[in-house]
Amino acid sequence: MKKIIVSAPGKLMLLGEHAVVYDRPCIVTAVDQRLSAEIFLTESGEFSMHAPDVSITDYKKSLAEIGKGEIPKAAAFIERALVNFKEKYPFDEGLEVRTKSEFSSSFGFGSSSASTVCLVKALSEVFEKNLSDKEIFDLSYKTVLDVQGVGSGFDIAAAVYGGTVYFLTGGKKIEPLHVKDFDLVVGYSGTKADTTTIVKEIAKKRDENKPKIDGIFSEIEVLVEKGKICMNESDWEGFGRIMNENQTLLSQLGVSTEKLDAMIEGALSAGAYGAKLSGAGGGDCMIALCPKEKIEDVKSSIKNANGEIIEIKVNTEGVSID
Ligand code: MEV
């Protein structure tokens, strides 16, 4: 029985969410909380999956049935990735997949994308296909679109490439940024947001008032370009100001919440360079970029606003064989 262990990082959006769905760039960083997958090749002719973090235990079907019938949501990404890989690179072996996450799937760190990337990387390795990062990205991104219909693919890029990445919709540009370490405090709002629902809500708002929403997206694009320069120069004060401006635009899109606003305000009053929601909004997490000496004050302020601190490091390694 051939076995391989792969892990991929979660992600945090630094700048550009929502606009990146509409052909604009964003900046995303990989975090040190990882999702790992053990993959066994078997002679059973069966696909089986065990992912207790998302309540999938002993899910089994014959290889001929993969991609067909009722598929539980939490198994859909892995199963679809398998179908897509097998279509391109046929094989007959059975497969057992076991995933384990260091982070809760509620945080919006991108567990579905990380697990998709892990599977594609593992299959590439186990069947000696030697896929490049871009090929792993493309196959994983196709999988995400097949399953959820929407998404820019930025989370896939973070999981594959790691580090901090300047990313354009669908992977038209994936540019790793050479950034020095920076200190990010992350606060979880306590509510899980459903990204697909929020992305569809924004699409509806855009249908109703295209000039207004596209105008906001274009302003976000300008901020991302400025932010990229600040990052390259390690100008964290400048980057913080840009985060604040990005947050204002996200509020105008209607995706911030009172709770996120309170946590963001708390972080700023405690001395963060900048703070904003990260991801689709409507819940999930906020991030605050901080001078080192203010980290503890910022954490206390976020806690005072009833946020939960999640300890992470940013700019970490992409998908790897463990
Ligand atoms: C969600 O984390 C970020 C969005 O921009 C969606 C996406 O880029 O796929 C809202």
In this prediction, residue 303 has a pLDDT band, given cuts at 50, 70 and 90, of very high
Spacing, Cα 165 to ligand 1 middle (Å): 14
In this prediction, residue 84 has a pLDDT band, given cuts at 50, 70 and 90, of very high
The residue whose C-alpha atom lies closest to atom 9 belonging to ligand 1 is 151
In this prediction, residue 107 has a pLDDT band, given cuts at 50, 70 and 90, of confident
Of 107-111, 124-128, 133-137, 187-191, least confident by mean pLDDT is 107-111
Question: Taking the mean position of all CA atoms in its chain, how far away is CA 220?
Answer: 19
pLDDT of residue 316: 95
Spacing, Cα 199 to ligand 1 middle (Å): 7
* Sequence-distant (≥ 6) Cβ neighbours of residue 159 within 8 angstroms: 8, 9, 10, 11, 30, 110, 113, 114, 116, 117, 118, 140, 318, 319
Residue 177, phi then psi, degrees to nearest 5: -100, 140
Spacing, Cα 150 to ligand 1 middle (Å): 9
Mutate to test the pocket of ligand 1, among 165, 194, 195, 217 (most ligand atoms within 8 A of CB): 195
CA distances from 161 to 48, 75, 106, 258, 302 (A): 28, 24, 23, 34, 30
**Beta strands of the chain (E only): which ranges?**
2-15, 25-42, 46-51, 56-62, 94-101, 164-168, 173-177, 184-188, 274-278, 285-289, 308-310, 320-321
Q: What is the pLDDT of residues 23-75, one digit of tens each?
A: 999 999 999 999 999 999 999 889 999 999 889 998 999 999 999 998 998 89
- Say how far apart CA 110 and CA 252 lie, in whole Å: 25
In this prediction, residue 97 has a pLDDT band, given cuts at 50, 70 and 90, of very high
Spacing, Cα 42 to ligand 1 middle (Å): 36
Around ligand 1, the residues with Cβ closer than 6 Å are 13, 17-18, 20-21, 151-152, 154, 195, 199, 279-280
In this prediction, residue 188 has a pLDDT band, given cuts at 50, 70 and 90, of very high
Contact 286, 215 (CB under 8 A): no
pTM higher than 0.85 = yes
